[in-house]
A = this chain, B = another copy of it.
Amino acid sequence: MIPEATVARLPVYLRALTALADRGIRTCSSEELATAAGVNSAKLRKDLSYLGSYGTRGVGYDVDYLRYQIAREIGVTQDWPVVIVGIGNLGHALANYSGFRSRGFRVVALLDADRSRHQEVVAGVAVRPFDDLEAIVHEHAVAIGVIATPAAAAQDVADRMVACGITSILNFAPAVLAVPDGVDVRKVDLSIELQILAYHEQRKAQVGQAAASVDGVDGLDGLDGAAGVGSGQLDGATIGVDK
């Protein structure tokens, strides 16, 4: 129903609206909200139009009302129990991340296959054996699992999760997961993001060099247009030198 690209931006709008609300702003135009969210206003309006007509022409959007509508649409008005598997450095960081709790995600269990970690308590939650997964998933009706294990273990963990009835997986391990239809997987790969930046960085260097050697003009001609809103952050990197 709602395009995938729009779904991916709704949480950004939600965050921007929360920031506006925190500053005491009660009403905003699509232009203001778009700026706060880092997109252009046409896209914002089209995105919001998929949810319904929650704005008022000539006026704008009621911040709190729109915030509630988006939250409801995404599903963050309800409570989502989450299990995190793999309590290494990243697992620790995730368990402690306050942004989960504040958006309706409750970490009900931390699991790790390593026995030496089972005495640990992270962010107020005890680390338990991985084999407890099924019991926990059934007890708390967990639908979302987070994988923060090494790559080698990721597929096994995913298989076990699916077997227990988990239908959404957030994967931080640098591995491609095979899952049945009906199971959603999203992956976050830290090193891939850096590699994408490196690619553009390399191109900038090449272009800058070529331009400098050919006609002495700096290849990065946009630097004076400072403070332009970071455009297109969601879709990908902004590319300084185009074409």
Contact = CB atoms under 8 A, between A and B. Distances in A.
Nearest to A82: B194
Indicate how many identical chains form the complex.
Answer: 2
Interface string A202-243: 111000000000000000111101111110011111111100
Contacts of A144: 194, 197-198, 201
B199 A75 contact: yes
A interface, over-half SS: mixed
Nearest to A240: B182
Interface string A121-165: 000000000000000000000011010000000000000000000
B170 A184 contact: no
Interface of A: 1, 4-5, 7-8, 10-12, 14-16, 36-38, 73-76, 78, 80, 82, 88-90, 92-94, 96-97, 99-100, 103-105, 143-144, 146, 167-170, 174, 176-204, 220-223, 225-230, 233-241
